[in-house]
Amino acid sequence: MALSESDVQHIAKLANLTLSAEEVSRLRTDLGAILAHVAQLGELDTSDVPPTTHVAVREMPLRPDQPEPSLDRDTALAAGPRVSDGAFAVPKFVDD
């Protein structure tokens, strides 16, 4: 299926993308090939294929809620890149 340049630009706008002229040209070809493949899939005879049922799990298998010991402070802080005064040190990002 052939896409126009305006079709590709419209799709890019919906995706909040800014494309160069070269990218629009390349995507016209790529998206056209994808749509042609999807059209081929639509031609398949699926009349003998039973419908798929919903695969949602009705009840989640949960483990019993049992308290367990947590990490001690030194072990938890050892995983951080910087520590200051017994806590993780992060860059300041809010001005006073």
What does the pLDDT look like over 21-80, one tens digit per residue?
Answer: 999 999 999 999 999 999 999 899 988 988 877 777 778 778 888 999 999 999 999 988
**If 0-12 CB within 10 Å is exposed, 13-18 middle and 19+ buried, where does residue 81 land?**
exposed
Per-residue buried b or exposed e for 26-56, using 16+ beta carbons within 10 Å of the residue's own CB: ebbeebeeeeeeeeeeeeeeeeeeeeeeeee
In this predicted structure, what is the pLDDT of residue 15? 95
Give me the residue spans of the domains in the chain.
5-42
In this predicted structure, what is the pLDDT of residue 80? 87
In this predicted structure, what is the pLDDT of residue 96? 61
In this predicted structure, what is the pLDDT of residue 59? 80
For residue 88, the cross-strand partners are: 83
User: Would you state the CATH architecture of domain 5-42?
Assistant: Orthogonal Bundle (1.10)
44 phi and psi angles, rounded to 5 deg: -65, 145
Long-range pairs for 31-35: beta carbons < 8 A, 24 or more residues apart: 31/3, 32/1, 32/2, 32/3, 35/1, 35/3
- pTM of this prediction? 0.48
